[in-house]
Amino acid sequence: MDIQRPRGTADLLPEALGLWSAFERVALREFERANYREIRTPLFEHTELFVRGVGDTTDIVEKEMYSFQDRGGRSLTLRPEGTAGVVRAYVENKRYGRADIDKLYYLGPMFRYERPQSGRSRQFHQYGCEVFGAEAPELDAEVIALSYRILSEFGLTGLTVEVNSVGCDVCRPQHKAAMLRLVQPHAEEFCGDCQRRMERNPLRMFDCKHETCQRLLTELQVPRISDVLCADCREHLEAVLHHTALLGIPCERNPNLVRGLDYYTRTAWEVTVAGHSTVSGGGRYNSLVAELGGPETPGIGFAGGVERAVQLAIDQSLTAGEDERLDVYVVTADQTATDQATSLVDTLRRAGFMADRDFQRRSVKSQVKSADRQHARWMAVLGETELASGTVTVKDMDSGEQEIWPFLEVAERMQERRTKQEGEGK
């Protein structure tokens, strides 16, 4: 075939989706237990939203956006992350006038033009949440705990949460000035990206992948933001760590953690497993709602990559459990039984059974093989004798027992059997 999927995308085939569904079920369950409600925002937004929201010095905005002009000449971008869109929707739908805080979660595809490699694709899926309207550190702890628990409840082990504070409007400008005094005289020695970051957001220099830049930062004894936090930020971080300890979350301080997005204030964290790429990350963003046109409203959230969680599960040999079994396979001896097969399959499905039949007009032998391959619990045979007597031969595929039931009673009798088997714990 000459047309292939675009680089950095994947076909998610039914066989692989067992683990995906298992993971998504855990994520939704944990979000809902904590009283979060789902939000779905568009897959594309005005490019300006991400430039302003995510930040124009971030790798995402500088290098990784899928931007295009639509037929009306507007610049649109496939969403590279979920936060900016959720904040826009929060502001646009005026959700800020509420007495209670707004707890929202989401799950869906994101797009970044990155060099595809293990754990990095161009279309990937995030699960995440955003909470608006509270500044208290116990909320940070709840969101950190959620980001950890979704992964641990899924069965992953070896998880660590690295936590830092990236400061606020009070300590960040002071840190920025102190940084610039030290790095500007050496501007030429830093990479091009860092020279740009120096002007707009020097804190991001700590996130540079170039060894030379990191070495220079150490040599010049550039203070890390965590070394110069204001008293309120320090107190906030201590309180967050106190609450995560109460919740039994294995948090470690990482004074070097700055994260790759511009909107964070105070708490920032990542959930990692040694030797693997970061599974999820998040942080507080107390200025973003106002920056995107809403009233001053504190926010906090995180997002994780479904592909990365599933890959970890595979590496740790977790399984999705047994595939769902087909309940009934309806076998027809020949074409004369087609009408009965149509109505029997429909009756069974309406009664709540997973039922299927042959559509390729194959021999009885091939149909029986299909029933076997799909691990059907029962096989319901409609042959000449059955048609003549208004009955169906029902075979229990586990025990091999076979009985003849009146056609009109099949669903009811199967239900009785199922209730009985469930009672026996089968």
Q: Which residues bind ligand HAM (CB under 6 A)?
A: 81-83, 112, 114, 119-121, 124, 126, 128, 130, 260-261, 278-283, 301-305, 307-308
Do the bridges between strand 378-382 and strand 267-273 make them parallel or antiparallel, or are there none, so unpaired?
unpaired
CB of 104 to ligand HAM, least distance (A): 10
Measured from each CB, the residue nearest to ligand HAM is 305
Minimum CB–partner distance for residue 150 and ligand HAM (Å)? 12
- Which CB atom, from 312 or from 376, has the smaller least distance to ligand HAM? 312
Residue type at 99 in one-letter notation: A
Between the alpha carbon of residue 53 and those of residues 59, 79, 290, 400, the distances in Å are 13, 12, 11, 63
Residue 9's closest CA among 120, 106, 128, 126? 120
| Beta-sheet pairing, 402-406 with 355-357 | unpaired
Least distance in angstroms from the C-beta of 364 to ligand HAM: 48
Shortest distance (Å) from residue 173 CB to ligand HAM: 22
Smallest distance from ligand HAM to CB 269, Å = 10
Q: Which is nearer to ligand HAM, 121 or 367 (CB)?
A: 121
Calpha distance 332→384 (Å, rounded): 9
Secondary structure element (H or E) that encloses residue 378, with its range: strand 378-382
381 and 393 in contact (C-beta within 8 Å)? Answer: yes
- Least distance from ligand HAM to the Cβ atom of residue 304, Å: 5
Q: What angle do CA 127, 323, 33 make, to 5 degrees?
A: 35
> 19 or 379: whose CB is closer to ligand HAM?
19
- Parallel, antiparallel or unpaired: strands 391-396 and 402-406: antiparallel
Beta pairing class for 251-253 and 159-165: parallel
Q: Which residues contact 48 (CB under 8 A, 6 or more apart)?
A: 75
The distance from CA 234 to its chain's CA centroid, rounded to whole angstroms, is 31
Q: Residue 202 or 305: which CB sits closer to ligand HAM? A: 305
Min CB(69)–ligand HAM separation in Å: 24
The C-alpha R_g of the chain, in whole angstroms, comes to 28
The minimum distance between CB 242 and ligand HAM, in angstroms, equals: 22
Cα separations (Å) of 375 from 73, 326, 328? 54, 6, 9
- Measured from the CB atom, the residue of 251 and 303 that comes closer to ligand HAM is 303
CA distances from residue 66 to 5, 62, 157 in whole angstroms, order as listed: 16, 11, 34
Q: Which is nearer to ligand HAM, 81 or 358 (CB)?
A: 81
Judged by beta carbon, residue 30 or residue 386, the one nearer ligand HAM is 30
Q: How many residues does the chain have?
A: 426
Task: Tell me whether residue 54 or residue 392 sits nearer to ligand HAM (CB atom).
Answer: 54
Q: How far is the CB of 302 from ligand HAM (least distance, A)?
A: 5
Q: Which is nearer to ligand HAM, 132 or 329 (CB)?
A: 132
Least distance from ligand HAM to the Cβ atom of residue 123, Å? 8
**Where in 61-122 does DSSP place strands (E)?**
66-69, 75-78, 102-111
Q: In angstroms, rounded to a whole number, what is the distance separating the alpha carbons of residues 145 and 133?
A: 19
Q: Max CA-CA distance within the chain?
A: 96
Q: Which is nearer to ligand HAM, 303 or 330 (CB)?
A: 303
